[in-house]
Amino acid sequence: MPIISSSDIVGDDESDLLAHIRESASALFFHPPGTVRCRGVPLFRNQAARDLGCLLDLDPDVVSWTCLPTILAYGTGMHVPDFAVERSDGTILLDAVSPDAKSPPPDWVSDVARDLGYRYEAVSECDLHEGFRLDNARDLLRYANHRISLGDRVRLLTLLEEQGPMPLSVCMQVIRDGRDPIGVIATMALRRFVEIDLDDARIGPETRVYRSHV
């Protein structure tokens, strides 16, 4: 199923409302600014949504994601989910929900999404902060717009192909970009040329780097 678009569901009046919601979100800024798999303009209504977007960019099952994709309506009620996420097994609508949210997703959202052929999930902000993955994702996404040379990419992939998984400190030694060698490796992780352990600890010299076979 292709990723959802607002034209699939909403009428003209609702499209105007959706445009207003997107415009309001466009005035907000949340760190980090860069994304790699966001389709369209990155728009976030709160930090929890931005944090979930960070995790989506580092999720190997995610093909792409869209912010504030559409309005779901039930009777006189309307709700805009934070994301439509295209995964290998279909499209899912996601919300990032803070414990103190003034307007949590209504109870009917899941049923409406299902009637339209989409799964729906609400992700608790508390769950986003479990473990080290979010902090590591934020660190990597500093390099979302970083450019790497073909030579550095080939040298690192050759090392990993010949030697197997290696510590980050060893991988840095084959990078010729003296300005920021770790930026090269971070960018290759974001582009899925390599994989980095994100869950066991904060990224450091001993973090293992693997060649990706995706």
Residues 15 and 120 in one domain: yes
Reference 121, options 88, 82, 67, 69; nearest CA is: 82
Residues 43 and 124 in one domain: yes
117: left (phi over 0), alpha (psi -120 to 50) or beta: left
- 0.95 exceeded by pTM: no
Domain boundary among 128, 162, 196: 128
Residues 163 and 105 in one domain: no
Reference 183, options 136, 134, 144; nearest CA is: 144
Q: pLDDT per residue over 161-179, tens digit each?
A: 999 999 999 999 999 977 7
Average pLDDT of each block of 10 consecutive residues along the chain (214 residues)?
44 74 93 95 95 96 96 90 94 90 85 93 93 96 94 95 96 88 95 95 96 82
Going across the sheet that includes 62-67, the strands are 62-67, 83-87, 90-97, 119-124
Q: How many of the other CB atoms lie within 10 Å of CB of 205? A: 9
Residues 51 and 117 in one domain: yes
Residues 31 and 108 in one domain: yes
Query: CATH no. for residue 156?
Result: 1.10.10
Is the Cβ–Cβ distance between 160 and 150 less than 8 Å?
no
Residues 81 and 167 in one domain: no
Indicate the SS3 state at residue 26.
Answer: helix
Residues 105 and 67 in one domain: yes
Tell me whether residue 152 is in a domain: yes
Domain boundary among 128, 152, 176: 128
Tell me whether residue 1 is in a domain: no
pLDDT at residue 76, rounded to an integer: 84
Q: How many of the other CB atoms lie within 10 Å of CB of 100? A: 7
Domain boundary among 128, 154, 184: 128
Q: How many domains does the chain fold into?
A: 2
Domain that includes residue 170, residue range: 133-211
Residues 53 and 31 in one domain: yes
